[in-house]
């Protein structure tokens, strides 16, 4: 049986700052063209080239370009991020993660950002990237947490708490387990949680687990203040 796969769940991420090692996914991307290296050729033909034929030797490796297409949402984080990078010309590490976990990492900068605004169809934008330096292709690895999850909201009976899952390397499927005073709450396995009267006086945390084919990693948020009555 074929091992072919569709591109669904592929991710395109950009480093937050040079050398930071923390990547943030670009939202609304629906098509990616990865960089493709080619080797230039150098003509070394001489008066004595055998058989009156030209001779060549390998030259430098040329990285070419990468590109992506995305839904254009004016003023969205992705729109603002790409426009800022285009304006600054900043070189950052970029990473493509395929559905099977294989990653392609390269340094590049935004060369062109071109939105298209049709009268009767979705708005889209094309992003052209210039690639510099080495292109690294790596096999899947287990997820690791780079920035821990964070709870938002007021720790009060009846008030909804929500969790930002944090930032991950080799992100996989995300699951949640809310805890009160360190003990798991049965059935509290979604991205939100509402404290009950029985939780008054106790802090709330949440364990976020990322799992892929290579393994899993769990990160625990910092605690909320002790739950108070409504």
> CA nearest 17: which of 79, 69, 92?
92
Residue 79, SS3? helix
> Domain 11-44+51-138: which CATH class?
few secondary structures
Any idea which architecture 144-220 has in CATH?
Sandwich (2.60)
> CA nearest 144: which of 128, 163, 121, 167?
167
Cα 81 from Cα 6, distance rounded (Å): 27
Cα 137 from Cα 149, distance rounded (Å): 28
Cα 190 from Cα 96, distance rounded (Å): 28
The 10s digit of each residue's pLDDT in 40-51 is 999 999 999 999
Boundaries of every domain in the chain:
11-44+51-138, 144-220
pLDDT at 35: 94
The 10s digit of each residue's pLDDT in 64-78 is 899 999 999 999 999
> CA nearest 42: which of 54, 24, 26, 29?
54
The 10s digit of each residue's pLDDT in 91-143 is 999 999 998 888 999 999 999 999 999 999 999 999 999 999 999 998 888 88
pLDDT at 68: 97
Cα 213 from Cα 105, distance rounded (Å): 20
> CA nearest 69: which of 33, 43, 99, 101?
33
Q: Which two tokens stand for residue 13?
A: 């991420």
Cα 131 from Cα 38, distance rounded (Å): 12
Cα 145 from Cα 212, distance rounded (Å): 13
Q: Give me the sign of the Cα torsion angle 128, 133, 139, 144.
A: negative
């Amino acid at each position: 049986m074929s091992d072919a796969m569709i591109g669904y769940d592929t991710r395109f991420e950009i480093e937050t700052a040079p050398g930071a090692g923390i990547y943030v996914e670009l939202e609304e991307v629906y098509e990616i063209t990865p960089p493709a290296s080619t080797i230039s050729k150098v003509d070394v033909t001489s008066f004595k080239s055998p058989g009156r034929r030209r001779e060549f030797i390998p030259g430098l490796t040329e990285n070419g370009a990468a590109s992506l297409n995305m839904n254009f949402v004016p003023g969205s984080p992705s729109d603002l991020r790409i426009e800022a990078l285009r304006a600054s010309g900043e070189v950052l590490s970029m990473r493509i993660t395929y559905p099977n976990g294989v990653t392609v990492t390269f340094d590049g900068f935004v060369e062109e950002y071109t939105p298209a605004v049709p009268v009767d169809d979705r708005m889209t934008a094309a992003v052209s990237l210039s690639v510099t330096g080495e292109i690294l292709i790596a096999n899947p690895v287990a997820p690791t947490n780079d920035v821990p999850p964070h709870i938002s909201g007021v720790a009060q009976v009846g008030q909804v708490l929500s969790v930002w899952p944090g930032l991950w390397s080799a992100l996989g499927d995300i699951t949640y387990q809310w805890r009160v005073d360190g003990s798991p709450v049965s059935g509290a396995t979604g991205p939100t949680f509402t404290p009950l009267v029985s939780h008054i006086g106790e802090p709330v945390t949440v364990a976020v687990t990322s799992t892929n084919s290579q393994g899993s990693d769990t990160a625990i948020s910092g605690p909320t203040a002790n739950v108070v009555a409504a």
